[in-house]
Amino acid sequence: MVRIKGANSDYVYTGNPQQPIEENKEADPLYLKIFICPNDMPSRIEKPHANGWCEGTDHQCPDDSSDKKAGHAMICLDEKEGISLVTKNQIIAKGNFTVEIDAKKSIEVTDKVISVSVGETVIKIADGEIQISQNDKPISISGNLAISGNIKVTGKIDLTQADVTFSPATLQKIKQS
């Protein structure tokens, strides 16, 4: 057997030595799984282990030996569920990576930009700047905000509900401006 496995909804193991794999064009839903089984357990197109077939994840592997290894990794294309990457390990996307939902960019990761869009809210990190925008609604920060460096404000400042304390020198500068 091999440790690089696959399963396809259109093909099943029959147990018949003359025709061990049979095509099933009526399979529903359609799927294709490509996975790694570090325990070399059979997939759905091979003779099953006593505990069944490996489905491409650590907890679905039928290996019951004392030296059972973790480390399965699977790519699954499914007609109903879409595309999934399944592993307990890190998933790394090299190069540009974009997730689009309903033709609107939702998550974009490139070597120069990270951008997340949720509805009308956008958080973008690009060229050393962090931009948070939300159409004409205030952006709320829960908890404390500490800023080291300068603050530039364009527009109005409303402190009517704030408990603000200024030094006498700062108050004098505010009055002068």
pLDDT tens digits in sequence order for the chain, 177 residues long: 689 999 999 998 898 989 999 999 999 999 999 999 999 999 989 999 999 999 999 999 999 999 999 999 999 999 999 999 999 988 888 888 777 776 566 888 888 899 998 888 889 999 889 999 888 888 888 899 888 999 888 888 888 888 888 888 888 888 887
Distance CA(130)–CA(114), nearest Å, equals 10
Give the SS3 label for residue 174.
helix
Q: What is the dihedral of CA 154, 155, 160, 166, to 10 degrees?
A: 30
Q: Same structural domain for residues 70 and 9?
A: yes
What's the angle, vertex CA 61, arms to CA 57 and CA 67, rounded to 5?
115
Q: What would the two tokens of residue 18 be? A: 């003359």
Instruction: Write down the pLDDT at residue 97.
Output: 77
Phi and psi at residue 131, to the nearest 5°: -120, 130
Q: Are residues 60 and 108 in the same domain?
A: no
Q: 6's torsion region: left (phi>0), alpha (psi -120 to 50) or beta?
A: beta
* Residue 2 structure tokens: 């091999």
Which residue is it, tokens 């109903």? 80
Residue 103 belongs to domain spanning: 93-140
How many structural domains does the chain have?
Answer: 2
Q: Is the dihedral of CA 20, 21, 23, 29 positive or negative?
A: positive
Task: Based on the fold, state whether residues 9 and 83 are members of the same structural domain.
Answer: yes
Query: What does the pLDDT read at residue 102?
Result: 67
C-alpha to C-alpha distance for 163 and 170, rounded to whole angstroms: 16
Indicate whether 99 and 31 sit together in one domain.
no
Cα–Cα distance measured from residue 65 to residue 162, given in angstroms and rounded to the nearest whole number: 65
Residues 22 and 62 both lie in one domain = yes
The answer to whether residue 171 is domain-embedded is: no
List all residues 6 or more positions away from 93 whose beta carbon is below 8 Å from its beta carbon.
109
- What is residue 105's predicted lDDT score, i.e. its pLDDT? 64
- 79 and 25 in one domain? yes
> 112 and 62, same structural domain?
no
Q: Are residues 29 and 60 in the same domain?
A: yes
The three-class DSSP label of residue 118 is strand
In-domain check, residue 74: yes
Cα 48 → chain centroid: 32
Let me know whether 10 and 73 are in one domain.
yes
Amino acid at the residue 113: V
Residue 16 lies in a domain: yes
Instruction: Tell me: do 47 and 100 sit in the same domain.
Output: no
Token representation of residue 77: 């294309």
Q: Do 35 and 70 share a domain, yes or no?
A: yes
